[in-house]
Amino acid sequence: MNAPERGPLAGIRAAIVDLDGTMVHTAPDFQVAINRMRADFGLAPLTVETVIEFVGKGSENLMRRVLAVDFEAEEVERRFPDALAAYQRHYLAINGQHSRVYDGVHEGLAAMKAGGLRLACVTNKPIAFARPLLEKTGLATYFELVYGGDSLPKKKPDPLPMLTVCRDFGLEPSAVVAIGDSSNDAEAARAAGCRSLTVPYGYNHGKPVHSIDSDGIVATLFDAARLLAA
């Protein structure tokens, strides 16, 4: 898929931006917290490449996939509550310490705001993790709205978070673009009636970014801002 034509993105008045893998490279934080949890239970550490394949559908899904490396489904469910609690404890302790903001993110968000776009962050990360990370990275000031994976009854790829932002902004979904790194973002946007753009550098469950059904691929958020302003 090449860069999109202007047509599908005409009339955009707001952008919904994903967090992990789109604005911030958080996989190193995930790996540290996961491996500390695994050490608590006498399990071998996982590589960052393995962790990246598991990221994207929220902490509960992440923990189940991490446990499934070692256990069958029944044992995964038995161990899940303790593993999730341990992971969350370790993650809160190191949130943002091993992460970095991707190139073009601050510039892109600033350009979008300067161009009059309203901005929301929608992530499947629990809100108790998302807000501190946005503050620590200096990204919080760009966003009017922030929804985490536990802020609403359903998370991406369900369209509810996207539709909620559209309602909060008083905009039709066709006037909103979702920008993310995975199929979760594009599927949620499509189902809500929003436009969508994909960045190529994040965590798409180990699948190639070109397999995502979005309105186009943009190299950075700054490139997205320039495209939307064109």
Q: Quick one: pLDDT at residue 214? A: 94
Tell the CATH superfamily of the 7-25+99-229 domain: HAD superfamily/HAD-like (3.40.50.1000)
φ/ψ (deg, to 5) at 144: -75, -35
Cβ atoms of 200 and 220 within 8 Å: the answer is no
Least Cα distance to 226 among 117, 64, 102 occurs for: 117
Q: Quick one: pLDDT at residue 1? A: 45
pLDDT in tens, 149-188: 999 999 999 999 999 999 999 999 999 999 999 999 999 9
Secondary structure E strands in the chain = 14-17, 24-25, 100-101, 118-122, 145-147, 176-180, 195-198
* Percent of the chain residues topping a pLDDT of 70: 97
- CA dist 24 → 4, 122, 187, 216, 220 (Å): 24, 13, 21, 20, 12
Query: 166 is written with which tokens?
Result: 């559209």
- The C-alpha angle with vertex 80 and arms to 75 and 86, in degrees rounded to 5, equals 135
Q: What dotted CATH number matches 27-94? A: 1.10.150
Q: pTM of the predicted model, to two decimals?
A: 0.91
Strand partners, 100: 25
185 is catalytic: no
Helices (H) and strands (E) in the chain, counts: 9, 7
Q: Quick one: pLDDT at residue 217? A: 95
Q: Of 18, 29, 181, 185, which is the active-site residue?
A: 18
**Residue ranges of the domains in the chain?**
7-25+99-229, 27-94
Name residues of the chain where pLDDT drops below 50.
1, 4-6
pLDDT in tens, 207-218: 888 889 999 999
